[in-house]
A and B are shown apart, each in its own frame.
Chain A
Amino acid sequence: MMPLVLAAAVLIALSGVPGLFLSRQGSAGERPASFLVLLGAGCGLAGVVGGLSGRGGDSVTLPWSVPGGELALRLDPLSAVFLLPVLLILACGAVYGLGYWPQREHPDNGRKFRLFFGLIGSALITLLTARNAVLFLLAWEVMALSSYFLITTEGEKIEARRAGFIYLVATHTGTLALFAMFALLEQLSGSFTFPAAQSLAAGGGAAIFLLGLFGFGLKAGLMPLHIWLPGAHAAAPSHASALLSGVMIKTGIYGLVRLTSFFFDLPPWWGWSVLALGVVSGIFGVAFALAQHDIKRLLAYHSVENIGIIALGLGIALLGRSFELPALILLGIAGALLHVINHGLFKSLLFFSAGSVIHATGSREIDHYGGLLKRQPWTGIFFLGGAVAISGLPPFNGFISEWLIYLGAFNAFAGESLTVHLAVLAAPALALIGGLALACFVKVFGIAFLGEPRSAEAARAHEAPLCMRLAMLPLLACCVWIGLLPMTVAPLLQRAALDWSGRTGEGSLSAPLAPLAWVGGMGWGLILIVVVVGFWLQRRARGAPAAVSTWGCGYALPGPRMQYTASSFADFLVGLFRFGLRTERRGGEVTDVFPAPEHFHSDTPDSVLDRLLYPGCRGVARGFTWLRARVQNGLVAVYLLYVAVTLCVLLLLITTI
């Protein structure tokens, strides 16, 4: 089935090419592009499903005479877990783009966007099936550069250029680490082909693991390596954000998962460091999200949070492997992998529906929305579905993966030693993350979609075009499907977990997933009762007076400006995280008896990027400016001195070696 996947990669890579030869103004280029992506995604899905059910070969090796060896591609359950959301979201994004980024409205960058959208899709497919370090890095680089061009789609805006530049610096710093990592891996295993699972002793792999954690962590956006993420995801068009945030950052997780599968006898500190990074990313990611007013930046910070949750699961699984606890391995890695799929689904859904809101109102500020559920009923339902799912609430898919991770954490009590018991602390951390995420999404959904319109644009908002809504439907359907029928994904997760941990006994890892059927059943019960009771209430409420205003202590004409705002909603919680967030607040002080109009403004810059890296880099740059003025001072005699010194040093080196 591998040829089908390869065909998908080629079709998707070429999807943007026909448009290059067609007119800038008309819509002739976008239809073939979307068609090719859809065709490719269909091929790819067929290939992945066929490969999983064991029909046909699942690996391809082509002769290739570069030092890296051969062109090796392979499809296994682990790759499949990451490929499924990639293909689905590519297809949905292509359809969504027809309405969201039409060529006639964006003649300058529409063609560029579609070219790189196809390229990144193809790079993702190649990367996830590559079994050779050189091929992996090639795909990695194509992916990194295409995402740069997606982020700077609107290159005329300074914000997009800035975000793109930071992204470029970050991704290449990570790539450098990966170069070093693969070089060391080659020393250890003897070839650039990926070693088989569990074939290397972890004793010699400490440097490899740390380099991988840095390089892949930078791509995944683990805090404090998340610096590029909020700006980049906010600047890109919404369907690109969905792709970047939903699946592209998961390649970092894929890298970590794949890398850790190579080794056996993992030392516990591998698991502990991933777990600790997960806790930090999870809690601070969502705390930063709470403080944002820009809907896309907010969603981007939620990616940091969800990557943290995935890292929690991975950390638990790694600890399970260090301490030989099968329940921890299975539940941890299954939870992490399912959350990879789930986050891809609901984050893209949220970015798509946020894009539909931005499309309708022309603003990214949450406080400029309000009352959109009446004007955009479908978008509102899609956003609500995504919000419930990302908050990890039953009966949607986010709950299932978090449930697995919780169970993994609780199973740490099964271990012998006291140290492994401490892994159970992942559970309260996850509870705090879940509570904060709930607060954040109540805020976004409530402020944006409920109440009265807060701006004239929001009052005039219109529902998104049909193709945008059509693109969101399969994502919501998948969220509900995984939430209500979680048993259907269990076999895939189990096979991936077996592959990853190198265990062979199927039976040893199956029991802990059995209660999933109960969880699904409870979800059905919940939906059934809610529908029956809701239907009854709706019938009973027929004929209720509809033209009354909200109770305001007898004040009959409450205005939209009197509503609670997003920043006031989050103020209390943001205040509790003051030590990490350092929100800047300006104005709002009322002093006199008869105060003049006051304005209040609050802003939460990124602690790592804006408070640490920027000032640090600026200081270094100033130092070098000073040094350059001293070194390059225009005196020919001094330059001659440099030449003389250099010659002497070289001479010394030659004679000593």
Chain B
Amino acid sequence: MLGRLLLHLVLLLVFAPLLQGVIVKTKALFGGRVGAPLLQPYWDLARLWRKGFVFSRTTTWVFRAGPVVGLTVPVLASLLVPFGALPAPLSFEGDLILFVYLFGLARFFTAAAALDTGSSFEGMGAAREVTFSCLAEPTVLFALMVLARLAGELSLNSLLGPHLEAAWKGPAAAPLGLILVCLLVVLLVENSRIPFDDPNTHLELTMIHEVMVLDHSGPAFGMILYGAALKLMVLGALVVRLALPWQTGLWWLDAMVFLGGMLLLALLIGVVESIMARLRLVRIPQILIGTTLVSIFALVLVLR
């Protein structure tokens, strides 16, 4: 139990920033540049760690609660998610709801911290964040419902259990494929990635996450970056497990399969970011309503 917990946390805490590095490197290669080293996110975090703070006189303690909750939530939520074939350390009936709502808590405090600065940029970012997330939530629930129907149980561990491998070969392959696409879209939305948000531009008016954290500095900003990397890893774990359901039974080999899957996912995100333009803001709700409909189709397929 304790060993599993430690392995889980080490995998999460150590490898999360690497994914960001892979994404950036992929984008650089597509753009014909050499790009920053793969380990650059780690150096960035170390640099921010050593820096000091700047707090606007407008802000209160809520501004500091944003990064704290934003870092805590992915760590706690990761305990509920199996990393590939490695089962989650904590698992109980209904933990999938807790998983979804923990991220809601993080969103509440990140958006409140953005509003705390009194800047209209950050207000705009906060408004967009809560808007798009609440449109993404029904899709997540439909996807979880499909998985719950296939698993017959209600914990993330059993939802993403060993039965998936057989399910992919049976008639459930079509709905699983549909929700895999939907979850990938939600992953891009929730992690503020192109085509929904641009993580590179910092003052364009069309952004969500970056504009919300504009005023954070020093270690607090480092916590936000690290939290975002952890979030990508935790949400990505769902997608990777769904796409690569194999398991060998040897824990280190399973961990390798999982990490390989995560790197592939990061590569995929990098490719998507390189070949797609950012969507117009008004199109985002349409896409999210579209994924909701697609996931409803998936549900109908498993219910029939």
Binding site for B on A (CB under 8 A): 370-371, 373-374, 384, 387-388, 391-394, 399, 402-403, 406-407, 410-411, 413, 418, 421, 424, 427-432, 434-436, 438-439, 441-443, 445-447, 449-452, 512, 514-515, 518-519, 522, 525-526, 529-530, 533-534, 537-538, 540-541, 544-553, 558, 560, 562-564, 568-573, 576
Q: A392 and B111 in contact (CB under 8 A), knowing A551-B215, A563-B119, A569-B126?
A: no
- 8 additional A-B residue pairs with CB within 8 Å, beyond A434-B104, A518-B90: A384-B62, A391-B108, A411-B154, A428-B142, A442-B126, A537-B64, A548-B57, A549-B58
- Cα(A572)–Cα(B206), bound, Å: 13
Query: What are 11 pairs between A and B in contact, CB < 8 Å?
Result: A402-B97, A413-B149, A450-B116, A451-B117, A518-B92, A522-B90, A534-B65, A540-B219, A548-B57, A550-B119, A568-B127
Q: State which of A410, A434, A525 has its C-beta within 8 Å of the C-beta of B145.
A: A410
B130 near A558 with CB under 8 A, answer no
A421 near B148 with CB under 8 A, answer no
Binding site for A on B (CB under 8 A): 52-60, 62, 64-65, 67-69, 71-73, 75-76, 90, 92-95, 97-98, 100-102, 104-105, 107-108, 111-112, 114-124, 126-128, 130-131, 133-135, 137-138, 140-142, 145, 148-149, 152, 154, 203, 214-215, 219-220, 223, 285, 292, 303
Closest residue of chain A to B110, judged by CB? A442
- Cα(A547)–Cα(B145), bound, Å: 51
- With most chain A CB atoms within 10 A of its CB, the pick from B60, B128, B219 is B60
Q: A432 and B134 in contact (CB under 8 A), knowing A407-B93, A540-B219?
A: yes
How near does chain A come to B211, taking the closest CB pair, in angstroms?
Answer: 11
Q: Across the interface, which residues of B come within 8 angstroms of A518, CB to CB?
A: 90, 92, 95
B115 near A451 with CB under 8 A, answer yes
How near does chain A come to B236, taking the closest CB pair, in angstroms?
Answer: 21
Q: Across the interface, which residues of A come within 8 angstroms of B285, CB to CB?
A: 572, 576
Q: A545 and B90 in contact (CB under 8 A), knowing A438-B130, A439-B130?
A: no
Q: A529 and B75 in contact (CB under 8 A), knowing A544-B55, A547-B57, A564-B124?
A: yes
How near does chain A come to B132, taking the closest CB pair, in angstroms?
Answer: 9
A563 near B120 with CB under 8 A, answer yes
Q: Across the interface, which residues of B come within 8 angstroms of A526, CB to CB?
A: 72-73, 76, 102, 105
Q: Across the interface, which residues of B come within 8 angstroms of A432, CB to CB?
A: 134, 137-138
Q: A413 and B57 in contact (CB under 8 A), knowing A439-B131, A537-B67, A541-B64?
A: no
How near does chain B come to A631, taking the closest CB pair, in angstroms?
Answer: 55
Question: Which 5 pairs from chain A and chain B are nearest by CB?
Answer: A564-B123, A435-B134, A446-B115, A451-B118, A544-B53
Q: Across the interface, which residues of B come within 8 angstroms of A371, CB to CB?
A: 58, 118
Closest residue of chain A to B116, judged by CB? A450
SS of B interface (majority)? helix
B97 near A442 with CB under 8 A, answer no
Q: A446 and B116 in contact (CB under 8 A), knowing A392-B101, A427-B141, A438-B130?
A: yes
Q: Across the interface, which residues of B come within 8 angstroms of A568, CB to CB?
A: 123-124, 127
A541 near B53 with CB under 8 A, answer yes
B64 near A563 with CB under 8 A, answer no
B94 near A515 with CB under 8 A, answer yes
Q: Across the interface, which residues of A come within 8 angstroms of B121, CB to CB?
A: 552
Q: State which of B98, B128, B203 has its C-beta within 8 Å of the C-beta of A522.
A: B98
B137 near A435 with CB under 8 A, answer yes
How near does chain A come to B292, taking the closest CB pair, in angstroms?
Answer: 8
A394 near B111 with CB under 8 A, answer no
Q: State which of B101, B118, B135 has its C-beta within 8 Å of the C-beta of A394.
A: B101
B115 near A548 with CB under 8 A, answer no
Q: Across the interface, which residues of A come within 8 angstroms of B137, CB to CB?
A: 428, 431-432, 434-435
A551 near B219 with CB under 8 A, answer no
How near does chain B come to A179, taking the closest CB pair, in angstroms?
Answer: 41
Q: Across the interface, which residues of A come within 8 angstroms of B59, CB to CB?
A: 550
Q: Across the interface, which residues of B come within 8 angstroms of A548, CB to CB?
A: 54-57
SS of A interface (majority)? helix
Q: Across the interface, which residues of A come within 8 angstroms of B303, CB to CB?
A: 418, 421
Q: A373 and B62 in contact (CB under 8 A), knowing A548-B54, A550-B117?
A: yes
- Cα(A388)–Cα(B102), bound, Å: 12
How near does chain A come to B240, taking the closest CB pair, in angstroms?
Answer: 23
- Cα(A537)–Cα(B130), bound, Å: 26
B133 near A529 with CB under 8 A, answer no
B119 near A529 with CB under 8 A, answer no
Closest residue of chain A to B133, judged by CB? A435
A533 near B127 with CB under 8 A, answer no
B94 near A406 with CB under 8 A, answer yes
Closest residue of chain B to A562, judged by CB? B120
- Cα(A545)–Cα(B57), bound, Å: 9
Q: Across the interface, which residues of A come within 8 angstroms of B67, CB to CB?
A: 537
Q: Across the interface, which residues of A come within 8 angstroms of B97, CB to CB?
A: 402-403, 406-407
How near does chain B come to A83, taking the closest CB pair, in angstroms?
Answer: 29
Q: Across the interface, which residues of B come within 8 angstroms of A549, CB to CB?
A: 56-58
Q: A537 and B215 in contact (CB under 8 A), knowing A373-B62, A427-B141, A564-B120?
A: no
B68 near A451 with CB under 8 A, answer no
B112 near A573 with CB under 8 A, answer no
- Cα(A434)–Cα(B138), bound, Å: 10
- Cα(A570)–Cα(B145), bound, Å: 29
Q: Across the interface, which residues of B come within 8 angstroms of A413, CB to CB?
A: 148-149, 152
- With most chain A CB atoms within 10 A of its CB, the pick from B71, B120, B124 is B120
Q: Across the interface, which residues of B come within 8 angstroms of A572, CB to CB?
A: 127-128, 131, 285
Closest residue of chain B to A522, judged by CB? B98
How near does chain B come to A413, taking the closest CB pair, in angstroms?
Answer: 5
Q: State which of A393, A402, A411, A544 has its C-beta within 8 Å of the C-beta of B108.
A: A393
A431 near B119 with CB under 8 A, answer no
B72 near A558 with CB under 8 A, answer no
A550 near B118 with CB under 8 A, answer yes
Q: A564 and B141 in contact (CB under 8 A), knowing A394-B105, A551-B214, A569-B123?
A: no
How near does chain A come to B90, taking the closest CB pair, in angstroms?
Answer: 7
Q: Across the interface, which residues of B come within 8 angstroms of A391, CB to CB?
A: 104, 108
- Cα(A431)–Cα(B107), bound, Å: 14
How near does chain A come to B290, taking the closest CB pair, in angstroms?
Answer: 14
A388 near B55 with CB under 8 A, answer no
A424 near B76 with CB under 8 A, answer no
Q: State which of A384, A522, A563 has its C-beta within 8 Å of the C-beta of B123.
A: A563
- Cα(A552)–Cα(B121), bound, Å: 8
Q: State which of A436, A522, A540 has its C-beta within 8 Å of the C-beta of B76.
A: A522
How near does chain B come to A449, taking the closest CB pair, in angstroms?
Answer: 8
Closest residue of chain B to A529, judged by CB? B72
Q: Across the interface, which residues of B come within 8 angstroms of A406, CB to CB?
A: 94, 97
How near does chain B come to A571, taking the closest CB pair, in angstroms?
Answer: 8
- Cα(A525)–Cα(B95), bound, Å: 15
- Cα(A545)–Cα(B137), bound, Å: 39
- With most chain B CB atoms within 10 A of its CB, the pick from A371, A407, A525, A569 is A569
Closest residue of chain A to B93, judged by CB? A515
Q: State which of B72, B104, B122, B292 has its C-beta within 8 Å of the C-beta of A393.
A: B104
Q: Across the interface, which residues of A come within 8 angstroms of B95, CB to CB?
A: 515, 518
- Cα(A469)–Cα(B76), bound, Å: 33
- Cα(A435)–Cα(B104), bound, Å: 8
B92 near A515 with CB under 8 A, answer yes
- With most chain B CB atoms within 10 A of its CB, the pick from A407, A515, A537, A560 is A537
How near does chain B come to A458, taking the closest CB pair, in angstroms?
Answer: 12
Q: Across the interface, which residues of A come within 8 angstroms of B60, CB to CB?
A: 373-374, 450
A403 near B94 with CB under 8 A, answer yes
Q: Across the interface, which residues of B come within 8 angstroms of A514, CB to CB?
A: 93
- Cα(A413)–Cα(B299), bound, Å: 12
Q: State which of A445, A545, A562, A570 has its C-beta within 8 Å of the C-beta of B55.
A: A545
